């Protein structure tokens, strides 16, 4: 198993390199860019653009009046009338004055050392910015994954055992309805009913903690934390566990109908022994195979609208705002981190295979 793990770790290198290459190439061909954005704000919003330039760490020592020097042949749309030296200084600030190959090589070298650079439009390093947003994503993603599987797997097993019964029918109805309602829509409904919208004011509307969180006791902090997470987690849970529940049920039904289960029953084994001693480890392999994609989806990509609705400033919202603002260091870093987490979770998923079913031996197959 050690050789397999080593091979998988080695293969992570070209995977992450490919992610960086694709991100870098896309950034080169996406319309607009940080320089174009600054020019657009200079020509359309005046002083706001200069505030953003200063916030990005550049001090050009030029007033807005000094920027106009007649026409030029700049490659940036709307740059006519701006000093070419000013445009060049912008390119230098954003590192766009170097050839693409040199910029990509520098990007790879920095990422090897986990140096993600500095945000273009925020006076903070990318890694510090991600650390600042990470608690929200960890809170939503970790608890969401845990609760989803704690509900889905027992419910799916129960539905398989009671296949065709009243319990199976009405729970299937609830699951289908829950899956059909988008999480963000259910989140809005929760706010309207329980967060001071039109009915009750039982839950807070924003943030992970209250303003007096530091003054609370340990138990009070736990309660306050759970109180703030209740509505967003409920909104995300409604549809998240539907797929896993039905997958678990169908997987168990398929195993229960196999010949080895009939043989085990003929030998006099109890249903509990058959279900959890034989069926469980075989049926759960399909469920586990979907865990990496489900984890990444819940932990990162599935939180954008929920974060926006409940005013939770996490990685999902950060990534979206960075794309809109052409803050490329943040965009590339978040995608790289998502990919890194994805390949690590995929490896852990394979290791979980062997723990559930020792008959699986990755050493005997090619990676």
The answer to whether the predicted template modeling score (pTM) of the entire model surpasses 0.75 is: no
Residues 288, 158 share a domain: yes
Asked if the model's pLDDT at residue 348 lies above 60, the reply is: yes
Q: What is the mean pLDDT of residues 1-9?
A: 79
Residues 260, 169 share a domain: yes
Report yes or no on 85 lying in a domain. Answer: yes
> pLDDT averaged over the chain?
77
CA distance 307 to 300: 11
Task: Report the domain count for the chain.
Answer: 2
Inter-CA distances, 79 with 41, 85, 141, 187, 342, Å: 11, 12, 44, 44, 41
| pLDDT tens digits, 307-333 | 878 878 887 778 788 888 888 888 888
Per-residue burial over 278-312, b if 16 or more Cβ lie within 10 Å, else e, is bbbbbbbeebeeebbebbbebbbebbbbbbbbbeb
Sequence-ordered list of residues with C-beta below 8 angstroms from that of 364, at least 6 positions apart, any chain = none
Q: What is the pLDDT of residue 361?
A: 63
Report yes or no on 76 lying in a domain. Answer: yes
Q: Show which of 68, 103, 138 is a domain's final residue.
A: 103
Residues 226, 355 share a domain: yes
Q: What is the pLDDT of residue 267?
A: 84
Report yes or no on 10 lying in a domain. Answer: no
| pLDDT tens digits, 98-130 | 888 888 998 899 898 888 888 887 878 888 888
Report yes or no on 17 lying in a domain. Answer: no
Residues 146, 84 share a domain: no
Give the structural domain span for 95.
32-103
Which residue, among 328, 318, 315, 327, has the nearest Cα to 52 in the 3D structure? Answer: 327
Q: What is the mean pLDDT of residues 42-51?
A: 50
Report yes or no on 261 lying in a domain. Answer: yes
Report yes or no on 326 lying in a domain. Answer: yes
CATH number at residue 224: 1.10.3720.10
Q: What is the pLDDT of residue 109?
A: 92
Per-residue confidence band for 51, with pLDDT thresholds at 50, 70 and 90: very low
Report yes or no on 116 lying in a domain. Answer: no
Residues 162, 89 share a domain: no
Share of the chain above pLDDT 90, in %: 3
| pLDDT tens digits, 229-268 | 888 888 888 767 777 888 888 888 888 888 888 888 888 8
Report yes or no on 265 lying in a domain. Answer: yes
């Amino acid at each position: 198993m050690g050789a397999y793990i080593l091979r998988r770790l080695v293969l992570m290198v070209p995977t992450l390199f490919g992610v960086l290459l694709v991100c870098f190439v896309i950034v080169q061909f996406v319309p607009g860019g940080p320089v174009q954005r600054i020019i657009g704000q200079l020509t359309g919003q005046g002083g706001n653009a200069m505030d953003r330039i200063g916030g990005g760490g550049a001090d050009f020592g030029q007033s807005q009046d000094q920027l106009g020097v007649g026409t030029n042949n700049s490659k940036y749309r709307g740059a006519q009338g701006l000093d070419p030296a000013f445009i060049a200084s912008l390119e230098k600030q954003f590192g766009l004055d170097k050839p693409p190959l040199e910029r990509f090589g520098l990007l790879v070298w920095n990422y090897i050392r986990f140096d993600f650079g500095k945000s273009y439009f925020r006076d903070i390093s990318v890694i510090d910015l991600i650390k600042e947003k990470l608690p929200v994503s960890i809170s939503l993603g970790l608890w969401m994954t845990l609760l989803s599987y704690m509900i889905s797997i027992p419910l799916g097993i129960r539905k398989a055992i009671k296949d065709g019964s009243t319990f199976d029918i009405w729970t299937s109805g609830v699951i289908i309805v829950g899956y059909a309602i988008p999480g963000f829509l259910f989140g809005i409904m929760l706010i309207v009913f329980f967060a001071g919208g039109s009915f009750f004011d039982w839950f807070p509307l924003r943030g992970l903690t209250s303003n007096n969180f530091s003054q609370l006791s340990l138990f009070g902090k736990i309660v306050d934390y759970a109180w703030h997470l209740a509505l967003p987690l409920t909104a995300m849970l409604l549809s998240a566990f539907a797929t896993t529940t039905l997958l678990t049920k169908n997987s168990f039904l398929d195993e229960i109908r196999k010949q080895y289960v009939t043989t085990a029953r003929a030998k006099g084994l109890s249903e509990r022994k058959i279900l959890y001693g034989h069926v469980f480890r075989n049926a759960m392999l399909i469920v586990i195979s979907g865990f990496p994609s489900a984890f990444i989806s819940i932990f990162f990509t599935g939180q954008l609208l929920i974060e926006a609705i409940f005013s939770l400033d996490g990685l999902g919202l950060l990534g979206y705002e960075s794309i809109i603002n052409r803050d490329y260091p943040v965009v590339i870093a978040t995608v790289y981190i998502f990919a890194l987490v994805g390949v690590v979770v995929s490896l852990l998923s394979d290791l979980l295979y062997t723990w559930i079913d020792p008959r699986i031996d990755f050493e005997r197959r090619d990676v």
